[in-house]
Amino acid sequence: MDINVFVTKDFEKMSEVAAQIAVKKIAAVLKSKQEAVLGLATGNSPTGMYKHLARAANEGKFDSGRIRSFNLDEYIGLPGDNAQERALHPESYAYFMVQELFGHLNKKFSETCVPCGSLIEQKKLIRSLGENKNDWSYAGTGAGRSIVIKAKAKSDYLAWIKKDILDRYARKIKASGGIDLQVIGVGGRGHVAFHEAGIPFRVAPMLLVKLDSDTIANAITDTHFKTKADSPRYAVSMSAGLVYQARTVMLVANGARKTRPVAESLLGEITPEVPISYGRLYARNGGELIYVLDRVAAEELLACRRELKSRGIILHETDKPSHSKPRRRLV
């Protein structure tokens, strides 16, 4: 299937176009079945789109009461003495979704699901990993790696994480009928959610991830955390393999930090070093892949139009700049 790339002039236009696509997809799904299932991302890129999406729902363009959502990921190790305090921390992804989307809906989604990273105590996790090294192994070539817990882990804590946090979330998505529209962003090294660069495409549907130092540094750069000491070291995340099982995947990206990974994902090798490059295999196998970008994030793609066309990648420039000189008016 062709890959469609929408290039827009700025963040606001990108947000508007992405929301229009999402509303159209949701409306189409709700014509064919009772409930639409959305996969949702956090981060700066989708925030504008979420505002447009909430407005469309409140204006009756689709029935938000017939939507079920699953978020991509959640931190482990946020400050808080208990799970409730961690879930309500301003940097938790559960809190983010309430602030950016759920709290703006007049009619709430039928269910909203976020991975239960807040239930995991980071200190206990680190201790359990250290004391039970035969219960798990690393998967990945970079600083950020997936912690693969064995099926018959002797540690009750690690076994609980695998069964009740990771596997249960994947089963719930499957029981819902799978995700109809998955919204994703992209990290500076081409990662999707917390499926870090270097983690194999197919490990497990849900991952327990030791975060890359670059991911931690970016969270500080984006002012989510003041110092490395404040920043979580682990996360729960959908894998790229699970993300690209959705019927439609829409990537939303803006800004200079996204320019290189966006270009590498469509023009470079298909490699775990750039997890979103897996989208090309997904599209090749019949999945619907859409990119919605601002012109900065799309800069390197726009310089390679012929190659994109030869690969079946269709550019849609919603605000194509004019290079022609204005005509002089004859009097």
pLDDT for position 321: 61
Q: Note whether residue 325 is domain-resident.
A: no
pLDDT for position 331: 31
For range 240-250, the mean pLDDT:
98
**Among residues 289, 298, 288, which one has the least CA distance to residue 318?**
298
Q: Note whether residue 330 is domain-resident.
A: no
Q: Note whether residue 323 is domain-resident.
A: no
Query: pLDDT class for 215, splitting at 50, 70, 90?
Result: confident
Residues in the chain: 331
**Range in 35-39, 128-132, 224-228, 292-296 with the lowest mean pLDDT:** 224-228
325 pLDDT higher than 50: no
260 pLDDT higher than 80: yes
141 pLDDT higher than 60: yes
301 pLDDT higher than 80: yes
**Range in 55-64, 173-182, 221-230, 248-257 with the lowest mean pLDDT:** 221-230
**Range in 22-31, 200-209, 210-219, 317-326 with the lowest mean pLDDT:** 317-326
For range 53-78, the mean pLDDT:
98
Burial of 82 (0-12, 13-18, 19+ CB in 10 A): exposed
Give every CB contact of residue 36 below 8 A, 6+ residues apart in sequence: 26, 29, 30, 62, 66, 67, 68, 180, 181
pLDDT-above-90 percentage for the chain:
87
213 pLDDT higher than 90: no
CA distances from 129 to 147, 148, 238 (A): 9, 11, 21
Q: Note whether residue 270 is domain-resident.
A: yes
130 pLDDT higher than 80: yes
pLDDT for position 227: 87
pLDDT for position 229: 83
Please give the tally of structural domains in the chain: 1
Query: pLDDT class for 129, splitting at 50, 70, 90?
Result: very high
Q: Note whether residue 27 is domain-resident.
A: yes
The mean pLDDT of the chain is 94
**Pairing of β 288-294 and β 234-238:** unpaired
What CATH number did the domain enclosing 135 receive? Answer: 3.40.50.1360
9 vs 318: CA distance, rounded Å: 8
pLDDT for position 319: 80
Cα dihedral 120, 121, 126, 131 sign: negative
- Domain of residue 313 covers 3-317
pLDDT for position 330: 37
Q: Note whether residue 326 is domain-resident.
A: no
Q: Note whether residue 172 is domain-resident.
A: yes
Query: pLDDT class for 326, splitting at 50, 70, 90?
Result: very low
Cα dihedral 98, 45, 262, 294 sign: positive
CA 10 to the chain's CA centroid? 20
Q: Note whether residue 119 is domain-resident.
A: yes
For range 189-217, the mean pLDDT:
93
pLDDT for position 218: 82
pLDDT for position 322: 52
